[in-house]
Amino acid sequence: MIRLLDILFSFFGLILLLPVLIIISFLIWIINGLPVFFIQKRVGRNGREFNLVKFRTMRQDSEQEGFITLGTADSRITALGRFLRRFKLDELPQLLNVLEGTMSMVGPRPEVRKYVALYSDEQRKVLTIKPGITDYASIRFADENRMAGEVIEPEKHYIQEVMPRKLELSMIYVKKPGLFSYFDIIFKTLFRIFLRK
């Protein structure tokens, strides 16, 4: 049932949002140049890697300077990128991931291999279901980038403090991946995006 909902939401979402996707793509191309999309290897269900797609919000090759975004003042983020990130518009291309089946609308956010390698056996249980665009951890840590910019050692803070807490929250859905939790997370995510200050 959840796979059917994923297909319906992603398919009709892509159709309805097509004008928005085209406008954003055009703006990125005109203002920041190509490529329009940022494609990164992430670890999905059962530890398999897949290509996660986002709109590019940073300077080209910024990934070489680290995976953690250092707050809104991070010089790698473009002006347009800050706007897209604020309203989570950079995540919209992941509807393609959902449609192809490598992601779900709801599920633990997929990490890069570097951080997955640090998971404990218990934490690796998040890899037993498809990763998602949003989950309880995404809602709780919606301002994660800002938080990273407020600490001295962002990556260390992420590994020791943020990542374990995110995985705890992700496990809530992993343990009960039903329709109630699915819609609860979607509605709470929309509420968080549109009613944030």
* pLDDT at res. 86: 85
What pLDDT does residue 197 have?
46
Mean pLDDT per 10-residue run, the chain (197 residues)? 96 97 98 95 97 93 61 77 90 98 97 96 96 95 74 84 95 93 95 74
**18-64: per-residue pLDDT in tens?**
999 999 999 999 999 999 999 999 999 999 999 999 999 988 766 66
Beta strands in the chain (DSSP E): 37-43, 49-55, 104-106, 132-134
Note whether 131 and 104 are within 8 A (CB).
yes
Task: Give the span between the Cα atoms of 152 and 86, in whole angstroms.
Answer: 23
Model confidence, pTM: 0.89
How far CA 184 is from CA of 38, 139, 169, in Å, comes to 29, 11, 14
Q: Are 53 and 22 in contact (CB under 8 A)?
A: no
DSSP class of residue 121 equals T
Let me know if 79 is exposed, middle or buried by CB neighbors in 10 A (0-12, 13-18, 19+): exposed
